[in-house]
Chain A
Amino acid sequence: MKKLLAFAAAAIVGTFCLKAYAELDAGAAEKFIKDTTSEGVEQIINADVSQAEKDKRFHKLLNNALDLDFIGQFVLGRNWKTATPQQRDQFVTTYRDLNILNWSKRFNEFKGKNFVFKGTTPSTSKGQIFVNTVVPMDQGEPAKVLWRVREKNGTYKIVDIVIEGVSIAQASRSEYTAFIKNNPGGLDALIRDLKDKLKKAQTSK
């Protein structure tokens, strides 16, 4: 009987361990970033196609690769909890469109460069992992770029990019928190401001 109980306990523990391993498949997370960056660099930045076609491809790539709904919630911090469903919806939509435009611009800075993969680092957050890369630069030290990857239902998405030790998500969160705190219009004023930026970015393209 004791042996049977021990076997059952081992089986349960084993199942949990397998689940934890499946949630943090470092190889799969790294492959996801390799595929995303190579698609971005080879099939978009370096591709001999029109800018309109590049924009279209970027939109599709970033929409699939970035978990912008998750990031959008994170960057609003505690303000997410007090926001109305309408405010949440408006914020996430605007944030999503603005970020796709901004990230297209940032990705362009990697023209002619390549990402060198340096393994992964575990995260303390559930179902997340960091994929470590460095980008050799024309001048000076290579840039360290860490990709925070989140796995959900077998799908991998990027939830943050840490460039030279600076987390983009944390910087945005700090920026939006300060804006809402210092602006009498609060979250509505932030959404208005972001919409203005989006319009400006769309017309300046």
Chain B
Amino acid sequence: MHSNVTIAALSLSLMLGACASNIHRNDADADPYENMNRKIFAFNDKVYENIYFPIARGYRKITSQDVRNRVSNFVDNIEEPITAANYVLQLKPKEAGISVARFAVNSTLGLAGTFDVATGWGLGLERTNANTTMASWCMADGPYVVVPFVGPGTARSFAGMVVDSAADPVYWTTYKDANIHDKATYGFAAVKYTDKINSLMDLYTGFKEDSVDLYATLRSAYLQNQRKLKCRFADESDETSHFDFDFDEDMED
């Protein structure tokens, strides 16, 4: 089941990606389904405000910052093998090695990953994912889409999300034991998404307060983040190329 989903996701990404250029100078150009996306975005906003954020606020009420830090570390550690595998696929052995070492150190000395001991040893957290791996192999990002209950992404990033979930270590380490498989998979997913929503809630609320068009602001932030992902065959020397356009354009100085 997992591998079928992965293949379908990759095919979808290739199909959609082939229709689009990797670099859209204008955010609106990357968003051919803007009307529909805006409607889903408005729906998602209601979901965040009425379901997700109350859960995150409840979580904050019953936990201290220290407990939340331990939970974040635990989630990061469980996902570390996915990071390591993606670094291997990106042909980055040094980063893959650091990731493996982090997993070994934090899983043991870090008490099942709840303490990030490895960072103190100079093995800092550097996350990566299947979306970045596909980008590194020059796969185009495809159109910008907003998915109900999930949020914004591109065809490639959603395909990446499916690939990463298919590699979920919790799934593969428990699938032989039917008694704990579902509990472990759903339990970890609940913890993981509560942690993610908790870390994103303030950022979203801040953007909402400051922006006159929240949809456009978040689209720009998301697409800028995608553009910084480099294709391994492109010129890597210019790290700032995705935001270093002609700043004097349209200016009367």
**Residues on A close to B: CB < 8 A?**
70, 73-74, 77-78, 80-81, 102, 121, 123-126, 128, 130, 138-142, 146, 148, 150, 159-160, 162, 164-167, 170-179, 182, 190, 193-194, 197
Q: Which of A125, A139, A171, A193 contacts B247 (CB under 8 A)?
A: A125
Q: Tell whether, in the assembled complex, residue B240 and residue A123 are in contact, meaning their CB atoms are under 8 Å apart.
A: yes
A190 CA to B239 CA in the complex, in Å?
A: 34
Asked, given contacts A139-B72, A146-B240, whether A197 binds B125 with beta carbons under 8 Å apart, the answer is no
Q: Tell whether, in the assembled complex, residue A175 and residue B125 are in contact, meaning their CB atoms are under 8 Å apart.
A: no
Interface size class of B (residues with CB under 8 A): 35 or more
A171 CA to B219 CA in the complex, in Å?
A: 8
Q: Is B200 an interface residue (CB 8 A)?
A: no
**Residues on B close to A: CB < 8 A?**
27-28, 69, 72-73, 76, 124-127, 210-213, 215-217, 219-221, 224-225, 227-228, 239-240, 242-248, 250-253
Residues in chain B near residue A70, CB distance under 8 A: 251, 253
Nearest-CB distance from A147 to chain B (Å)?
12
Residues in chain A near residue B216, CB distance under 8 A: 174-175, 177-179
Q: Tell whether, in the assembled complex, residue A121 and residue B239 are in contact, meaning their CB atoms are under 8 Å apart.
A: yes
Q: Tell whether, in the assembled complex, residue A130 and residue B212 are in contact, meaning their CB atoms are under 8 Å apart.
A: no
A166 CA to B243 CA in the complex, in Å?
A: 8
Q: Tell whether, in the assembled complex, residue A170 and residue B212 are in contact, meaning their CB atoms are under 8 Å apart.
A: no
Q: Which of A148, A167, A179 contacts B212 (CB under 8 A)?
A: A179
User: Which of chain B's residues has its CB closest to A142's CB?
Assistant: B124
A and B contact pairs by CB, cutoff 8 A, 23 listed: A70-B251, A73-B252, A73-B253, A74-B247, A74-B251, A81-B252, A121-B240, A138-B69, A140-B76, A141-B125, A160-B247, A166-B225, A170-B220, A170-B224, A170-B243, A171-B224, A174-B27, A174-B217, A175-B212, A175-B220, A176-B213, A179-B212, A194-B212
A128 CA to B240 CA in the complex, in Å?
A: 12
Q: Which of B127, B212, B216 has the most CB of A within 10 A?
A: B212
Nearest-CB distance from A85 to chain B (Å)?
12
Q: Tell whether, in the assembled complex, residue A165 and residue B228 are in contact, meaning their CB atoms are under 8 Å apart.
A: yes
Q: Tell whether, in the assembled complex, residue A80 and residue B247 are in contact, meaning their CB atoms are under 8 Å apart.
A: no
Q: Which of B27, B220, B224 has the most CB of A within 10 A?
A: B220
Q: Tell whether, in the assembled complex, residue B246 and residue A78 are in contact, meaning their CB atoms are under 8 Å apart.
A: no
A146 CA to B215 CA in the complex, in Å?
A: 24
Q: Tell whether, in the assembled complex, residue A193 and residue B217 are in contact, meaning their CB atoms are under 8 Å apart.
A: no
Nearest-CB distance from A62 to chain B (Å)?
15
Residues in chain B near residue A193, CB distance under 8 A: 212
Nearest-CB distance from A102 to chain B (Å)?
6
A166 CA to B240 CA in the complex, in Å?
A: 11
Q: Which of A140, A175, A190 has the most CB of B within 10 A?
A: A175
Q: Tell whether, in the assembled complex, residue B212 and residue A190 are in contact, meaning their CB atoms are under 8 Å apart.
A: yes
Asked, given contacts A126-B248, A140-B125, A174-B27, whether A179 binds B213 with beta carbons under 8 Å apart, the answer is yes
Q: Tell whether, in the assembled complex, residue A123 and residue B247 are in contact, meaning their CB atoms are under 8 Å apart.
A: yes
Q: Tell whether, in the assembled complex, residue A174 and residue B220 are in contact, meaning their CB atoms are under 8 Å apart.
A: yes
Residues in chain A near residue B252, CB distance under 8 A: 73, 80-81
User: Which of chain A's residues has its CB closest to B224's CB?
Assistant: A166
Residues in chain B near residue A178, CB distance under 8 A: 27-28, 213, 215-216
Q: Tell whether, in the assembled complex, residue A139 and residue B69 are in contact, meaning their CB atoms are under 8 Å apart.
A: yes
Residues in chain A near residue B213, CB distance under 8 A: 175-176, 178-179, 182
Asked, given contacts A166-B221, A171-B224, whether A125 binds B248 with beta carbons under 8 Å apart, the answer is yes
Q: Tell whether, in the assembled complex, residue A159 and residue B69 are in contact, meaning their CB atoms are under 8 Å apart.
A: no
A131 CA to B61 CA in the complex, in Å?
A: 40
User: Which of chain B's residues has its CB closest to A189's CB?
Assistant: B212
A164 CA to B213 CA in the complex, in Å?
A: 21
Residues in chain A near residue B126, CB distance under 8 A: 141
Nearest-CB distance from B110 to chain A (Å)?
14
12 new A-B contacts, CB < 8 A, other than A74-B251, A140-B76, are: A74-B250, A102-B210, A123-B240, A125-B244, A139-B69, A141-B127, A150-B247, A160-B243, A165-B225, A171-B224, A174-B219, A193-B212
